[in-house]
Amino acid sequence: MNGVVIIDKPAGKTSHDIVSEVKKILGAKKAGHTGTLDPMATGVLPVCLNEATKLAQFLSGESKEYAATMLLGVKTDTLDREGKITAQSDKVVSDEEIKAALAKMVGKISQVPPAFSAVKYGGEPLYKYARKGVFLKTAAREVEIFNIAIQTISFPRVTFMIACSKGTYIRQLCSDVGDLLGCGACLIGLRRLRSGFFSEDMAVSLDNYGYAEKKIELLKKMLSLTKSLPLLAAMEVAEDLANKLRAGFQPSVEMMKAHVPPFLEAGDMLKFISYSGNLVALAEMIIPVNKFSEFDGKCQAGRIIRVFNISN
């Protein structure tokens, strides 16, 4: 059993709780998610099972989309509704000021990870320090906000859609907007609508089924390893070559020149698929395909970075 299931995470459970539940239902040996959702958040949580756990790092780097609701005039220590209130303001701001402040967040911005987050310091997540009253200063990180679309403004609540890069903290964004407006703000609602290729219409809600029904539904909706990477260029290989790749053989110019798309550049990812449709390996291109003619056929053209040993 190797694949990815998309869970519609309910509020009140951690991402780890969901992974443990899915692992138990399906009897998987290994399981992991592709990006933490806070307990208060709902929505798309991809869970990788068995061999698919090798894909997690490639799936977690994808962009995300959320629906968020911000409360103006209230600041908390966790930057969301679950924390202790640290400041309140009765300042009233106009719709135009709110729109302008959110517009300033679009593009590449610097964010300091919240004190209550899973970012690690000295091998421990920041939230463990924060719970002990130790608030560590961490370096700001660059993230990118691709788009913010305001849905409703009903002061002091603002609901908006946001598309962003991995590692973006919507809690921190709300807090920064509140500071810009001079009234403070916190996040009171968050739903992840998309994580990379995975969208909410693909998700299974575990709350809607009994135990046996959950297993049936998860198996029915499980994506194979190959289908979990739909946007990667692919090269089909016969079983004998598939076995060589699994054993450590590195793809050469001669092997690849007639079978890979001409647009691949150095650094691009490529998936090798067996004729039976199973994912065999992932490789990173070393030589651009349009430069193949300049190299000896035996020259290594790609670097294998993951192999998959069980049929999926």
- Summarize pLDDT for 212-265 with one digit per residue, the tens: 899 999 999 999 999 999 989 999 999 999 999 999 999 999 999 888 888 999
Q: Can you tell me the distance from the alpha carbon of 62 to that of 137, in angstroms, rounded to the nearest whole number?
A: 27
Could you give phi then psi for residue 58, rounded to 5 degrees? -80, -25
150: three-class secondary structure by DSSP: strand
pLDDT digits (tens, 9 = 90+) for 146-193: 999 999 999 999 999 999 999 899 999 999 999 999 999 999 999 999
66: three-class secondary structure by DSSP: strand
pLDDT(204) > 50: yes
pLDDT digits (tens, 9 = 90+) for 252-287: 999 998 888 889 999 999 999 999 999 999 999 999
Q: Give the Å distances, CA to CA, from 171 to 85, 151, 163, 282.
A: 14, 18, 14, 35
Annotated catalytic residue within 38, 179, 201, 240: 38
Average model confidence (pLDDT) across the chain: 91
Residues of the chain with CATH 2.30.130.10: 233-307
Instruction: Give me the CATH code for the 3-62+197-221 domain, please.
Output: 3.30.2350.10
Is 296 one of the catalytic residues? no
Q: Look at 135 and 67; give whichever has higher pLDDT.
A: 67
Q: Are 150 and 66 in contact (CB under 8 A)?
A: no
Q: Can you tell me the distance from the alpha carbon of 91 to that of 182, in angstroms, rounded to the nearest whole number?
A: 8
Residues of the chain with CATH 3.30.2350.10: 3-62+197-221, 65-187
Fold of the 65-187 domain? Pseudouridine synthase (3.30.2350)
pLDDT digits (tens, 9 = 90+) for 55-82: 988 887 789 999 999 999 999 999 999 9
Q: In residues, how long is the chain?
A: 312
207: three-class secondary structure by DSSP: helix
Largest CA distance in the chain: 72
At residue 128 the predicted structure's pLDDT band, cuts being 50, 70 and 90, is low
Q: Are 245 and 281 in contact (CB under 8 A)?
A: yes
- pLDDT value at position 126? 64
User: What counts of helices (H) and strands (E) characterise the chain?
Assistant: 8, 17
- Give helix 15-26 / helix 211-221 axis angle, nearest 10°: 90
CATH class, range 233-307: mainly beta
At residue 312 the predicted structure's pLDDT band, cuts being 50, 70 and 90, is very low
Residue 47, beta-bridge partner list:
5, 33
pLDDT(210) > 80: yes
Q: Which residue matches tokens 């070393």?
A: 286
